[in-house]
C-alpha cells in the first residue's frame, strides 16, 4: 500500500479505499499472508473481452497502407488456413505488373514468404509434413528437410524471403504479426517483380515489414520481453 501511495501520489487512506473497491469487484486480490495485492479474475475477464474486441484486419490495415505508400509495392495480410495461406487484406501498389492476387486468394504455404513465416512461428509447424510439397518452379522447396532448415533460419532472423519459388520473376518478403503468446497470428507480405525488388532494395524493405509487424503485434498484446 505504501508503494502504491508513493507511486500514485495519493494518500494511504485513499489508496486503501480504492484497493477495497477493486478487491470487492474482483479486479485485484490480496496475496495470502502478505500486505501485497495481485490482479484478480475480473481483470483476466476484462482483458479477454478487450482482446476479442480487436479485429486483426482493422488493426493491421493502416500499417499495410503505410508500407504500400512507402514502397509502391503490393502489401498483403495473410493468415494460415490448414497448409495454405489466405489473403484477408491487401493494398495494391503503384506497379501494374505483379503476381495477381486478391482478398480471399489462397496459396500453398511452403511456396510463399508469408506462408513460411506463418509455419516458422506457428505452434505446430510440423503439420506441413502431412502433405506433399508441390513444385511450382525449380526453386520451390519440395523436400521437408530443406523446408525445415528454412523455417529454422526464418525463426532466427525474424523474416522470410521468397525468390521465384512460386513464380519465376516474382519476389516476396514477409514478417510475422505475433499474438500475446508469441505465435504468428498473421503475416505482412510484400511482393513484386524481381526487377524492382532486387538485392539492393531487399534489406530496407525487410526492415519496413519487420517494424510494421512489430507495431501490429504490440497492438495484439505481444511483448518481446514477455
Architecture of domain 56-219 in CATH? 2-Layer Sandwich (3.30)
pLDDT (tens digit per residue) in 10-53: 999 999 999 999 999 888 998 888 888 888 888 877 776 665 55
Cβ burial, residue 188 (10 Å; 0-12/13-18/19+): buried
Residue 195, φ and ψ in degrees, nearest 5: -70, -35
Beta bridge partners of 21: none
CA dihedral 72, 95, 60, 200 (to 10 degrees): -50
Three-state DSSP at 155 gives: helix
pTM: 0.73
Report which of residues 95 and 156 the model is more confident about: 156
As given in the structure block, the three cell numbers for residue 20 are: 477495497
Could you tell me if 62 and 91 are in contact, meaning their C-beta atoms sit under 8 angstroms apart? no
Residue ranges per structural domain of the chain: 2-53, 56-219
pLDDT (tens digit per residue) in 134-161: 999 999 999 888 998 999 999 999 999 9
Fold match, 2-53 / 56-219 = no
- What whole-number distance in Å separates Cα of residue 164 and Cα of residue 133? 16
Query: Mean pLDDT over all residues of the chain?
Result: 87
Q: Which CATH class is domain 2-53?
A: mainly alpha
Residue 18, φ and ψ in degrees, nearest 5: -65, -40
Band of the pLDDT at 167, cuts 50, 70, 90?
very high
Amino acid at each position: 500500500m505504501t508503494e502504491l501511495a508513493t507511486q500514485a501520489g495519493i494518500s494511504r487512506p485513499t489508496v486503501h479505499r480504492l484497493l477495497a473497491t477493486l478487491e470487492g469487484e474482483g479486479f485485484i486480490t490480496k496475496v495470502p499472508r502478505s500486505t501485497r495485492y495481485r490482479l484478480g479474475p475480473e481483470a483476466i475477464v476484462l482483458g479477454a473481452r478487450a482482446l476479442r474486441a480487436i479485429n486483426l484486419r482493422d488493426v493491421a490495415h493502416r500499417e499495410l497502407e503505410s508500407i504500400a505508400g512507402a514502397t509502391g509495392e503490393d502489401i498483403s495480410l495473410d493468415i494460415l488456413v490448414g497448409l495454405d495461406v489466405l489473403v484477408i487484406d491487401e493494398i495494391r501498389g503503384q506497379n501494374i505488373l505483379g503476381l495477381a492476387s486478391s482478398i480471399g486468394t489462397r496459396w500453398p504455404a511452403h511456396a510463399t514468404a508469408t506462408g513460411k513465416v506463418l509455419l516458422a512461428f506457428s505452434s505446430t509447424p510440423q503439420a506441413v509434413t502431412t502433405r506433399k510439397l508441390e513444385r511450382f518452379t525449380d526453386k520451390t522447396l519440395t523436400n521437408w528437410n530443406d523446408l525445415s532448415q528454412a523455417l529454422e533460419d526464418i525463426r532466427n532472423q525474424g523474416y522470410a524471403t521468397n525468390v521465384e519459388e512460386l513464380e519465376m520473376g516474382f519476389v516476396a518478403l514477409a514478417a510475422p504479426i505475433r499474438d500475446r503468446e508469441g505465435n504468428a497470428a498473421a503475416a505482412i507480405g510484400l511482393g513484386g517483380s524481381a526487377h524492382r525488388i532486387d538485392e539492393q532494395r531487399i534489406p530496407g524493405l525487410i526492415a519496413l515489414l519487420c517494424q510494421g509487424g512489430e507495431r501490429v503485434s504490440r497492438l495484439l498484446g505481444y511483448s518481446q520481453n514477455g
